[in-house]
A and B are shown apart, each in its own frame.
Chain A
């Protein structure tokens, strides 16, 4: 079975440009999470969706960041305009509540990540 799919795997862009990261969760999972990993802050949750609805976006650093989930199989994280401090690895993860893989379904399954470099 396919895991969480993210694209692109690498993105290099210039400051001020718009960046769109994409994620396809595991089929049947009803929760989707966007994380950012940096050396300074480790793995931090940016936003998560449950049944395509944004539940908590308190981790989104500022208004330049936005995320959407138009359907159960696709989500985007957009940065506009991008800045050098946005350089990081962005992970998408999905999970299912109370059913599926784990004994209680709380495990999140991560994609391979998108390494973003903003110059």
Chain B
């Protein structure tokens, strides 16, 4: 049972336009959400995150929106650049019940973004 879903395996956009990547989750205990970017032959790189107490977080060209009632988040990249072409993973985290344990991340399956010059 996938708790974090990225239903679009791929997305192509023109350079300079907006890229919108979507993510849905099912576990209402998730209270922290992250986006990672992954280039081939490299590990995932943290991009941006958002706490469930917010509905928007912005960092330069990247903005993450959270709709808790819909259990949906999205990553907007404006303007898109060819260097943004990568696989984007959505991840979610819930507070651990026991103290002394670290938060685990549950990842979506990823969306391959291609920005065309």
Is B17's beta carbon under 8 Å from chain A? no
Give the residue of A31, A50, A108, A111 whose beta carbon is less than 8 angstroms from that of B46. Answer: A108
Binary per-residue interface labels of chain B (32-71) against chain A in the complex, 1 for a CB within 8 Å, 0 otherwise: 1010100001111110010100000000000000000000
Query: Is B93 in contact with A106, judged by CB distance below 8 angstroms?
Result: yes
**What are the residues of chain B within 8 A of A55 when measuring CB–CB?**
100-102
Interface residues of B (CB under 8 A from A): 32, 34, 36, 41-46, 49, 51, 89, 93, 100-105, 107-110
Query: Is A111 in contact with B101, judged by CB distance below 8 angstroms?
Result: no
**What are the residues of chain A within 8 A of B32 when measuring CB–CB?**
104, 106
**What are the residues of chain B within 8 A of A91 when measuring CB–CB?**
43-44
Query: Is A110 in contact with B44, judged by CB distance below 8 angstroms?
Result: yes
| Cα separation A51 to B102 with both chains bound (whole Å) | 9
**What are the residues of chain B within 8 A of A107 when measuring CB–CB?**
34, 46, 49
Interface residues of A (CB under 8 A from B): 4, 30-31, 33, 42-43, 45, 48, 50-51, 55-56, 91, 93, 95, 97, 102-104, 106-113
**What are the residues of chain B within 8 A of A97 when measuring CB–CB?**
102-103
Query: Is A110 in contact with B45, judged by CB distance below 8 angstroms?
Result: yes
- A45 and B105 in contact, given A106-B32, A110-B43 (Cβ under 8 angstroms): yes
Q: Which residue of B lies closest to A92 (CB)?
A: B43
**What are the residues of chain A within 8 A of B103 when measuring CB–CB?**
95, 97, 106
Query: Is B43 in contact with A56, judged by CB distance below 8 angstroms?
Result: no
- For residue A113, give the distance in angstroms from its CB to the closest CB of chain B: 5
Query: Is A42 in contact with B109, judged by CB distance below 8 angstroms?
Result: yes
- For residue B66, give the distance in angstroms from its CB to the closest CB of chain A: 15
Per CB-CB distance, the 5 closest pairs between chain A and chain B, nearest first, are A110-B43, A31-B102, A43-B107, A42-B109, A50-B102
**What are the residues of chain A within 8 A of B105 when measuring CB–CB?**
33, 45, 106, 108
> Which of B42, B44, B51 has most A Cβ within 10 Å?
B44
Query: Is A56 in contact with B101, judged by CB distance below 8 angstroms?
Result: yes
Q: Which residue of A lies closest to B50 (CB)?
A: A103
**What are the residues of chain A within 8 A of B49 when measuring CB–CB?**
102-103, 106-107
Give the residue of B36, B43, B100, B102 whose beta carbon is less than 8 angstroms from that of A4. Answer: B43
